[in-house]
Every structure is written in C-alpha cells, then in structure tokens.
Amino acid sequence: MGTASTEATGRNVELELQTRDRGCFFVEASDAVGCRVTLEHFVNRSDGRLLEYFTIEDVAPDRVLSMAEAADGIADVRIVGRGVDEALFEFIVSGACVTTTLADTGAVARSVSADCGVGHVVADVPAHVDTRTVVERFQDAHPESELLACRDADGTVPVRTSRGARAALADRLTDKQLEVLRTAYLSGYFCWPRESSAEECADALGITQPTFSQHIRAAQARVMDGLFGGDRHATVD
C-alpha cells in the first residue's frame, strides 16, 4: 500500500495515487503512443456509462481515434477541439475507470492524468469515508497501483482568487446545470461557429435535446445573475 499513512484523522484527506493499469484507456493510450493524457471533465450518465473529456498531447488525433474505436471499454469517441500539439476528445466509457472506482468508495477524483503509461490520480476523501478502504479498493480494482501520499486536504478557497470566484459562481448552479454547462463549454457549443450542436451535447450526456436546452438556459441565467448582481432568475431550476 505504500509508505504513506492512511489512518483516520477526522478531517478531509487528499490522496495521491499512481497506477499502471492498462485496463484504463487513458493509461493504455499514453503508454502505446508515448503521449500525455489529462482528464478535463467527467459526468456519470443515467445509463451507468461515463462521459469523459481528455486532452491528449503530442500524438496524431487519428491515431487516438483508432485506438479508442478498437478498445472494448470505449462505447463512443469523437474529437471536439484541436490545438497545435493537442486535441480534446469526448469519450463515452463503459469499462474500468479510476473516477468510478473512487466514486464507489465515496471519494472524488480531483485530477487524473497519464504520461507514457504511468497514471497519476489525486482524490479527495471526505472525513466520514475510511481512507484505508478507498486505497485498498483502488488497488484491488486497478493492478499495479500504489499510494504515493496521504495528506490533509486544503481548506476552503478564498473568494478573492480566480479559483474562488469560479467556485462562487459554481455554487449558484445545481449539479446537473454545472454538468451541462461544462460539457457544452468543452464540446465547443459556445464557439462561433459551433463545434457541437445542442443535439450532440445532449447525446453525449444521455439526455434529450429539450432537457439540455432547459438546463443550459437556467445555468446561463444563474451565472449572469452571479456576475451582474441580480436575482431575476433566482427561482429558475
């Protein structure tokens, strides 16, 4: 289990884990083509599958597409953004994933990445969740994994920082509104011209287009209220 202590502290804990489990596509892909893979966003769909957005650097996007289309644990994949040396991919995952492993124990993935076959995961463990159990279940689900560090989690983020300001705006949204808004942003829904339609975003989330439109409009209204100090849409769900 590594040398870091996992004794209960009664406080929120941050875990740093490493895995070489090639059953996770992000680890396998980084190893197969020698690239860096970084998780940007994930959503648990109502059908039990996972919607994930990964930035993948220093590899031809078509090569990643070919690997994903041949992988058993990937139900669907598409490119939603391209940069000079990287591309943003949308995956619908039906196989093993570190984020669902952590969620099943009550922990939450804060960051997930892989570089040349080595996955790196940082997770938050709430005070009421047994840290040792989280680590043991993670290692059971993902072979060749180890605990690198176990430490007290950071306190609340001050609002007078860019991160704190984002947190304050996010607090105005429901979980579903935040999921829809971030998915739309990463999918290029707000770009001009649009890189993804409302129908494509809804399909990725496993919801209907009218439901997507309802959530995105409510989320935009609440963000605008947060920015401009109004409460005109305070009752919008």
Tell me the per-residue pLDDT of 166-212, one tens digit each, with 9 for 90 and over. Answer: 666 777 888 899 899 999 999 999 998 899 999 999 999 999 999 99
Q: pLDDT tens across 29-64, in order?
A: 999 989 999 999 999 888 989 999 999 999 999 999
- This prediction has a pTM of 0.76
Residue 106 sits in the same domain as residue 41? yes
pLDDT exceeds cutoff 80 at 141: yes
Do 118 and 216 lie in one domain? The reply is no
Element (H, E) at 180: helix 175-186
Considering the domain architecture, whether residues 53 and 112 belong to the same structural domain is answered as yes
Whether the Cβ atoms of residue 1 and residue 139 lie closer than 8 Å to each other: yes
Q: Residue 4: its pLDDT value, please?
A: 59
43 found inside a domain: yes
Tell me if 225 sits within 8 A of 232, measured CB to CB. Answer: yes
Among the listed ranges 45-54, 130-139, 217-226, which one has the minimum average pLDDT value? 217-226
User: Is 175 a domain residue?
Assistant: yes
Q: Is 160 a residue whose pLDDT tops 50?
A: no
Compute CA distances 189 → 59, 84, 156, 176, 200, whole Å.
25, 20, 31, 17, 9
Residues 93-134: pLDDT tens digits? 998 799 999 999 999 999 999 999 999 999 999 989 999 999
- Residue 21: inside a domain: yes
Question: Of 134, 152, 170, at which residue does a domain stop?
Answer: 152
